[in-house]
Amino acid sequence: MLTGRRVVLGVSGGVAAYKAAYLARRLTERGAEVRVVTTASARAFVGDQTFAAITGHRVVDRLFGVEGSVSPHTELGRWADVVVIAPATAATIARLAHGLSEDALTATVLASRAPLVVAPAMHTEMWEHPATRRNVRRLEEDGVRVVAPGEGPLAGGDVGVGRMAEPEEIVEVICEVLGEGPLQGVSVLVTAGGTREPIDPVRFLGNRSSGKMGHAIAEEALRRGARVVLVTAADLASSPGIERIQVETAAEMEQAVASVQPDVAILAAAVADFRPKAPAADKISRTSGPPSIELEATPDILAGVVGRTPRPLVVGFAAETGSLDRAVRKAQEKGVDLLVANDVTEPGAGFAVDTNRVTIIWPDGRSEPWPLMPKSAVAARLLDLVEGLLGARTETVSSPSDDPAHPGDGR
């Protein structure tokens, strides 16, 4: 399956471009997120709206003047888990072999460290030409996976070798190239959003958390192959591959979290610290004057997860204003493996924005400030750390104690 994997589909100009639309459909059916980049000549065969309707994203067809993007080729290159070019014409293959970047497609390839899959399509004479064969060999030497064309009907009524491989075959090659994600077999629990604690049937105590950070983490964990359970109080969309539990209050979130036994728990939700002790059964009337609302503490969900046996790897979050000293104490006192803290008063790092500036805090008090970056990038970098911690745990479990009288207990 390709659930959560990010595929950049490059389409160059050739009659086989119509197959690229089928390929985009097959990839989305497998759960992949697909973004299409085309050459100018590809648009003569298949219109942008076709790909946009299939993938849900606008097509990138130029290097400059793309709405909402300063550098589309670098953004796509960094975003991709794999880049696939289907069909790849002789001209596109030549550009790739020589490292040219004169259009959005070839520039995206050069700007990406993701694996590259190429599905050639052209007339037999072009496919068998020494220059094309030389360029294909060079790509293969560079580690490019070439899905060889088959024999069959070609443009203009010709028949021969050069017909682009069928979409189903290309999908299987993509699956093989991507392999299992680094978190394959790992269960990840993520909490997100701000809880709402009822005052009466109309009003509530809440906070300004949008849930964007938690949702970004859940999506990134899914992309890496994890089995993801997202307990969220937010209204944001989530990928079909994520098991979602919708909640509203801290009590509902506590109950949902208790029902999951994960390997990793990333608690990014902004859970209310207090709630009305006795919510009114009916709407409180203004004519009665300002009500007196007695508050009580909500359950400490983080402490509950840390105290489990067996204990998952736990990442906590702390939204602060100004100094992060309280976050450092929280990391030490709560017993988490990592704490992600941010000052929500900083520009670009508060609520309901797509960026964040966080500081990673370890239980021993060490801290690492990260620069302002998209929340998706924060999620990716955080899960890199999680993977490292999981690896260290595995090594600890598999390494026996040096003291033969006290063998390792696997913790």
Catalytic positions are 207
Helix 130-141 × helix 90-97 angle, to 10°: 50
Question: Measured between alpha carbons, how far is 35 from 116 in angstroms, rounded to an integer?
Answer: 15
Question: Measured between alpha carbons, how far is 228 from 93 in angstroms, rounded to an integer?
Answer: 39
Question: Measured between alpha carbons, how far is 125 from 160 in angstroms, rounded to an integer?
Answer: 9
Please compute, for residue 233, the number of CA atoms within 13 A of its CA located in the half-sphere on the CB side: 26
Q: Which residue's entry shows tokens 């079909």?
A: 240
**Is the distance from CB of 24 to CB of 9 less than 8 angstroms?**
yes
Question: Measured between alpha carbons, how far is 411 from 394 in angstroms, rounded to an integer?
Answer: 10
Question: Measured between alpha carbons, how far is 130 from 75 in angstroms, rounded to an integer?
Answer: 35
Q: Tokens standing for 391?
A: 């690896």
